[in-house]
Amino acid sequence: MGSFPEEHDWGLLQTVLGGESSHESWMQLALEEARVAATEDEVPVGAVILSGGRVIASGHNQREQLADPTAHAEMIALTQAAASLGSWRLENCVLYVTLEPCPMCAGAILQARVPCVVWGAADPKAGAVESLYRLFEDRRLNH
């Protein structure tokens, strides 16, 4: 499992998650979303976003179903989270996603100001956090 920032701000995580937390339990929710995607003949990727220790958004890949190239799990969850909070700034949120974000999703995560991202598997084909690119390390991208 990978995460950003590499050096966790555990105080932030405890505040966001409401105390003691287990990455595995939150990742299980993202895996449930990925299973839904698989049943819909989508690439099985799922995501959940937490704020204040509760899930405020979830999503799974829906590119085929929606005929939308941007309908990745992370994009859907980010849109839901922004609507839930009434703000595009997701500064006190944690995103759990089953696969390392691609360049598009990593860019959206940066723009939304999500301070912590935890992913389940590296993506050597399109990973934009560690595998191919390191977009989260380029502070010029978050203006």
Q: Are 62 and 71 in contact (CB under 8 A)?
A: yes
Active site residue 91: no
43 forms bridges with which residues in the sheet?
Answer: none
Given the residues 74, 91, 100, 137, the one annotated as active site: 74
Report H helices in the chain: 10-17, 23-39, 63-66, 73-85, 103-111
Helix axes 103-111, 73-85, angle to 10 degrees: 10
The catalytic residue positions are 74
